[in-house]
Structure 1
């Protein structure tokens, strides 16, 4: 891991991601709690979650642009736009023009911008790192992502209570400006093998189709099916968390719930390299079975500490699998197609997440949110069952032994240097 931080481009990308994640963590807590305060119902937080998550379902439409656009320019533009858009919320508040409808307009706009930013960061990794460094690089990125969430979800929950959500939006805007400054020093030569940055419509649809066919004519689609069930459950859960937090103590406990989730994801991300030394198929089956058990067990505890503990444990397999999947796809997908394939996989794996958020928010108004929360654990159980059902996945070997043929892909990439 240490040798990664000798690479200047990796350090800048890593620090930029840390700062971006700080901004995202504070923005999410501040916006969701502000919506809950203004709306006073799980339905509004469900609708907010739907609007934030909906652009992820259409990320496959952005993939061809990510593959062609210059990474540095894309990262700079996205961070500057986010900084400006977030400032609109406190600006309208001070003019007494802020409404919940305005927040609902801003949420999907900011979310769309993120769908260009994060895939561009992922695209950069196999360019600046060697193939043998990808798992470690993804673990470091996951550590940055989840470690920051762990700290700043809790901090944001406390800050919302002490200084208010509006002030937090002002701080948030500054973080994206700082991230833009860091990304401005990147020096990445985007290897496109003759592909120009301009994307004409006829090439756009051709490349979009190529990304879709790569996923759905291989076993990658089976991975997405199980992930879709997990993400549907996560969508419902995120809509219900503010209501559950209110029963335990309010905004501060909401931050603690998100921090517990982030801690589980962080532990899972850090253990991704270790789990990668074992056969992937059996590891995923065991991990998600244990995760479902921990999640379901929250219904049998009444103390906040054990609720947080079991909830956090349930997220460990999700963090580990995210790292494994990232390393696998970056190793077996041709470099010039990574943006398209990752976007397709991201879109179709989370396509039911916004639906789950909207449905969870609605059902939470007529049924006890704690009851719904308990049974969302079934999503993790379905993931484990999917890997048992498909023998090709169950028999997958260690990460380093997986190539395109094992997932029925026709081509494998050359090693990046």
Structure 2
């Protein structure tokens, strides 16, 4: 918490993230349930999940822009655009032309804009925090993200019943506008060396864009970073299936209130894990990750196998505690060992390649839920988390990863001089 008191830039970024996450939580729950209600089928929630996740899979395309654009302007403009676009839903309802097709058009557009906002927030952290503060900063960011979700996912389920999903879109628009105000207060110094300044002000030609894009892939696949993608890709495929069937699975447990409760326990588990992330930094990351992902997989599968709504909720929340802890550790480590001048494109490539199968999983999950009990699919998806533990276990370099503070670029076989990455 000291970071929030002594660093105004971090405070403004932190508050902006909190407010925009408030809107995201309300918007996601309202949208997915509205699609489920209008379509009366899990197929439509699977399709909605596919359309929302597809821009995330294409995030690598935003990397070169994120590395060149002004952090402050990017954050402010993305929030304003989302604030305006989200009003289309309540306006269309007011004038009587709201349809499931319109929702399925607006949702991916907003999701596409988000793929410029979140990498930019990640890129801003190493510029306003010291290397020693990054794990704590990421822990607070995850705390903000999951803490807000913890409250507003549950609140959204209640508000959908009390005031209706349409009213929540108006609230969402206001929250995005507030986030834009907080981000406008940021003072971020970037591209401090002369060559980087010249690069920033040059027009991003198609040739330069493709060069930057290629360099992002080159850094990932010429290092140990690509190994992370194997297990996480399988896991994310299963997570995509889970998010698609969650409204249907929740309906069997009690309705929209349970949908909010399950999302809340997911956030609660991730929140606790985020808080533990900075504390677990003193342990070897390789062994810790294997243990954490195994525990997460066991709890996830157990959530589907038990019949009690209370136990299902409990196990699902417990599954996300170890997962959240490891995610905070890895985020802090990557920000400390990868130069900021290429962090945007590298993070975008890593993120895109790890989630590229999520839209497919969502679409497949939504379809399978129309012919197979959603509980069976939910149980199967827990196996995806176990795949991460297996990859870390069988790969000697991952298994041997030391403590976070002992890692450097060489730990991940990153050699930026040999790869001639200069912009």
TM-score bin, normalised by smaller chain: over 0.9
SS of structure 2 residue aligned to 1:397? coil
Aligned residue for 2:43?
43
- Which residue does 1:132 correspond to in 2? 132
- Distance in 1 separating the partners of 2:281 and 2:365: 34
Q: Structure 1, residues 254-303: CA drift from partner, whole Å, max 9, x if none?
A: 00000010011111111111222100000000011111111111234222
Aligned positions of 1:308-319 closer than 5 A = 308-319=313-324
Q: What is the DSSP-based 3-state SS (H/G/I as helix, E as strand, rest coil) of the residue aligned with 1:347?
A: helix
Mean Cα deviation higher: 41-50 or 224-233 = 224-233
Q: Who is 2:384 aligned against?
A: 379
Partner of 2:410: 405
User: Is the 1:4–1:137 contact (alpha carbons within 8 Å) kept by the matching residues of 2?
Assistant: no
Name 2:107's counterpart in structure 1. Answer: 107
In the other structure, the counterpart of 1:415 is none
Paired with 1:12 and 1:162, the residues of 2 have a C-alpha distance of: 32
CA deviation after TM superposition for structure 1 residue 199, in Å: 1.5
1:223 Cα deviation from its structure 2 partner: 0.5
Q: Which residue of 1 aligns with 2:397?
A: 392
Aligned-partner Cα distance in 1 for 2:305–2:109 = 40
CA distance in 1, matches of 2:121, 2:266: 23
SS at the partner of 2:93? helix
Tell me what 1:212 maps to: 217
Q: Is the 8 A contact 1:79 1:180 kept in 2?
A: yes
Give 1:5 deviation, angstroms.
Answer: 2.9
Task: Give the structure 2 partner of residue 252 of structure 1.
Answer: 257
Correspondence for 1:12: 12
- Corresponding residue number in structure 1 for 2:59: 59
Shift in Å at residue 405 of structure 1? 1.2
Paired residues, number: 412
Partner of residue 296, structure 1: 301
- 1-structure distance, mates of 2:347, 2:366: 29
Counterpart Cα distance in 2 of 1:303 and 1:369:
15
Backbone CA RMSD of aligned residues: 1.1
Aligned to 2:354: 349
- Report the equivalent of 1:167: 167
Secondary structure of the structure 1 residue equivalent to 2:86? helix
Q: Deviations over 1:49-68 (max 9, x none)?
A: 00000001110110000000
1:23 positional shift: 0.4
SS in structure 2 of the partner of residue 337 of structure 1: helix
- CA shift, 1:6, in A, is 1.2
Cα drift, residue 3 of structure 1: 3.5
Matched, 1:68 2:68: yes
Query: CA separation in 1, counterparts of 2:4 and 2:277?
Result: 17
Partner residue in 1 for 2:205: 200
Query: Which of 243, 248, 251 is the aligned partner of 1:243?
Result: 248
Query: Which residue of the other structure, out of 268, 275, 297, is the alignment partner of 2:273?
Result: 268
**How far is the alpha carbon of 1:154 from its aligned partner?**
0.2
1:27 maps to 2:27: yes
- What's the secondary structure of 1:271's corresponding residue? helix
Partner of residue 327, structure 2 = 322
Classify the secondary structure of the residue corresponding to 1:376: helix
Distance 2:4 2:178 in 1: 22
Q: 71-80 or 191-200, which moves further after superposition?
A: 191-200
Q: Distance in 1 between matches of 2:216 and 2:204?
A: 15
Structure 2: runs of 5+ lacking an equivalent: 418-423
Using the TM superposition, give the Cα deviation of residue 181 of structure 1 relative to its aligned residue in structure 2, in angstroms. Answer: 1.0
1:288-327 per-position Cα deviation (integer Å, ceiling 9, x unaligned): 1111111111234222111100001111122112211211
Residues 305-363 of structure 1, C-alpha deviation per residue, up to 9 Å, x if partnerless?
11100001111122112211211111111110000000001101111111110000000
TM-score for both structures, normalised by structure 1: 0.97
2:3 and 2:143 map into 1 onto residues whose CA distance is 16
TM-score (norm 2): 0.96
Unaligned runs of at least 5 residues, structure 1: 413-417
Q: Provide the rounded CA distance (Å) in 1 between the counterparts of 2:5 and 2:57.
A: 33
Residues 297, 383 of structure 2: 8 Å contact kept? yes
Rounded to whole Å, the distance in 2 between the matches of 1:67 and 1:159 is 39
How far does residue 4 in structure 1 lie from its aligned partner after superposition?
Answer: 4.2
